[in-house]
Amino acid sequence: MLLREHAQVSRPRQVHDLGELMAIYECNYIRLRQLIPDLATVGAVEVSLAPGALDLHLRIVERNRYTTTLRLTYEFEDEQGRFVAPDIQVRIYHDARLAEVLSCGRRRGHRDATYDSGRRDYGLDDKWRINRFLQKWLGYCLRQGHRFRSGRSDVLEPAGSWPEVLAGLTVSSSDTP
């Protein structure tokens, strides 16, 4: 009798709502844009190197006007060869400023991902859990110092010395009213 009562008193499973999930999607978008500041020009395959951290690998799977699909992972090697983990595929919705996990979690010996929204209709709690994992992992990567930079320089070059710039901006008599 005591065991049955104890089982009924156990903590209920936490249920999340759509608003919480959308907030995580938005946070994931913000963190991905911090990780990849110039998403439009970053290469199709990039590696971020941060001192004292594992190399973070990025692969752009697809670029469209309103979405970009990418993969983020670490690469490991052991006596059986190279493998990737956690191998997360994310779709970024540029117009809505959201990022959602499409698949995650390939493991050695298993071809399919443990979470794959293309093959199964997941419930809200499952989506919340995997996207919350991405949120925490992106925060961890950012704290380690990971960033993906495009090939072009982020530093703006000066146009020249002020006297030279101002001399080039002189107003001709035909421009005055």
The terminus-to-terminus CA distance of the chain in angstroms comes to 96
d(C-alpha 165, C-alpha 163), whole Å:
6
d(CA 31, CA 133): 13
Predicted pLDDT at 48: 96
Q: Where are the domains of the chain?
A: 14-152
Dump pLDDT digits (tens) for 58-91: 999 999 999 999 999 998 887 878 888 888 999 9
What is residue 65's predicted lDDT score, i.e. its pLDDT?
93
Q: How confident is the model at residue 167 (pLDDT cuts 50, 70, 90)?
A: low
How is residue 106 written in tokens? 């390939």
Q: Which amino acid is at 35?
A: L
* pLDDT computed for residue 111 by the predictor: 46
Q: Quick check: 137 pLDDT over 60?
A: yes
Confidence of residue 92 (pLDDT cuts 50, 70, 90): very high
* Dist. CA 138–CA 102, nearest whole Å: 15
**For a pLDDT cut of 70, what percent of the chain falls above it?**
68
Task: Tell me the two tokens of residue 165.
Answer: 């710039």
Q: What's the whole-number mean pLDDT along residues 36-62?
A: 95
Supply the pLDDT for residue 70: 97
pTM: 0.72
